[in-house]
Amino acid sequence: MPISTPKVGEIVRDLAHRTADGEPTEGAYMETLAGLAYLRPAGGGCEWTTKPEHVQRLDHP
């Protein structure tokens, strides 16, 4: 579980999924349900899931 749960709509990094450039995928946090964090692209689109421990807030050092 993340140290602090992001707010709904907050842009976060998904450390388990990478872009073509190898950077963590960023998306809007939607909720955590049944042990999975739900994210969606910032511009809209299909949600995806990841483990909550893979969610990193952008203000994380």
pLDDT at 4 over 90: no
Would you place residue 3 in the very low, low, confident or very high pLDDT band (cuts 50, 70, 90)?
low
Which residues are bridge partners to 37 per DSSP? 32, 50
CA dist 18 and 14 (Å) reads 8
CA dist 53 and 55 (Å) reads 6
In this predicted structure, what is the pLDDT of residue 59? 84
pTM: 0.86
pLDDT at 2 over 60: no
The values of phi and psi at residue 53, to 5°, are -70, -10
- Model confidence pLDDT, tens digit, residues 7-31: 999 999 999 999 999 999 999 999 9
Other CB atoms within 10 A of residue 36 CB: 13
